[in-house]
Amino acid sequence: MNITDHIKYIGVNDHKVDLFEGQYIVPNGMAYNSYIILDESIAVMDSVSEGFGEEWLGNIQKAAGGKTVDYLVVQHMEPDHSANIFSFAKAYPEAKIVASAKAFAMMKNFFGTAFEDRQVVVGEGSTLSLGKHQLTFVTAPMVHWPEVILTYESTEKVLFSADAFGKFGALDVEEDWACEARRYYIGIVGKYGAQVQSLLKKAAGLEISKICPLHGPVLTENLGYYINLYDIWSSYRVEEEGVVIAYTSIYGNTKKAVEQLAAKLEEKGCKVAVNDLARCDMAEAVEDAFRYSKLVLATTTYNADVFPFMRTFIDHLTERNYSNRTVAFIENGSWAPMATKVMKEMLSKSKNLTYAETEVKIMSALNEASEAQLDALAEELSK
């Protein structure tokens, strides 16, 4: 794949992976992106995951037309991008390895060597000339590892963005960018919004025509759309008005309440997303919570606490700095309901949350009083 006349795609698609990073369901696989810049000197941008080294080295050889490669630029040391650095070093013994000081320390941990005799250590504002193409390095610590650098090629105005602007899914499958990019961002990068905001400020000073991430498609048109979404996500702002209902239910009574509330909200014209936390993809539920403006947490009191899937869900939210939303509660308990109290305590870490005035309390099953509370909550959330 040609990115430009002088920059080519040499990455791979992985359709064997079922759980990315051991937890994220990826039904359409993953792409591990790598690029090559052809000039007086030739530079390869990042390697690929373990198991794809032979394919990747073949892609390099084909793209380089048999010429030697002068540099491997390592932007990120996560193994899905760094696993074949050692294979590259053996295949191209004269090539230099370009990375941040922290990346070289990680190479020592991963490979037993930091390639001391071949290092080109770069930091903020460092440059590397390949001939007509000029690389400038931008540090991006904690987006989403501490060693990360991005690379700006000024001649063709290409930003190699490491994991930023990436998404789940292999490149030979067509799917909506925003959905899987949002799930990827919230799940993997979401905790580090402040660091992403800092990076976006740096990027604002660059004239960018293309963004080449380490996962997902190369972005070539309407870049403002993607950058704006990253700005929304990293500042924890509401992306879309709507109500997310996340629930757990043991014998079906809490579920009945959720179904009634969802129907009442939809009748009032609200967009509603319902997630059964015991059965859904947890990452999808977390994505919904960050996407929409309002969240209803509905669960049972369980061992004087909340049902385990709800605890896990709220932990995911607070770990990723959930904030700037309206939250409502539905609790169920047969003798001592206390789920709302527990959930509020868990959310105390979050900033700028507004709690709905109406709280729904179910004693085992819905009755006239709790159904009236559902009506009041639907009215409040629809405003």
pLDDT for 1: 85
Look up residue 25 and give its amino acid. I
Contact present, 76 and 67 (Cβ < 8 Å): no
Largest CA distance in the chain: 78
pLDDT for 145: 95
Q: For 75-99, how does the pLDDT look when each residue is reduced to its tens digit (9 = 90+)?
A: 999 999 999 999 999 999 999 999 9
Closest CA to 71 of 135, 14, 12, 149: 135
Domains observed in the chain? 7-234 (3.60.15.10), 242-382 (3.40.50.360)
pLDDT for 149: 98
pLDDT for 290: 98
Q: For 178-236, how does the pLDDT look when each residue is reduced to its tens digit (9 = 90+)?
A: 999 999 999 999 999 999 999 999 999 999 999 999 999 999 999 999 999 999 999 99
DSSP state letter for 2: B
Predicted TM-score (pTM) of this structure: 0.93
pLDDT for 334: 86
Sign of the dihedral defined by the CA atoms of residues 86, 91, 94, 95, in that order: negative
Exposed/middle/buried for residue 137 (C-beta within 10 Å: 0-12, 13-18, 19+): buried
**Which residues does 197 contact at the CB level (< 8 Å), separation at least 6?**
231, 234, 235
- Structural tokens at position 184: 């990827």
SS3 label, residue 52: coil
Instruction: For the chain, list residues with pLDDT below 70.
Output: none
Sign of the dihedral defined by the CA atoms of residues 45, 223, 207, 123, in that order: negative
Q: Report the percent of the chain where pLDDT is more than 90.
A: 97
pLDDT for 66: 86
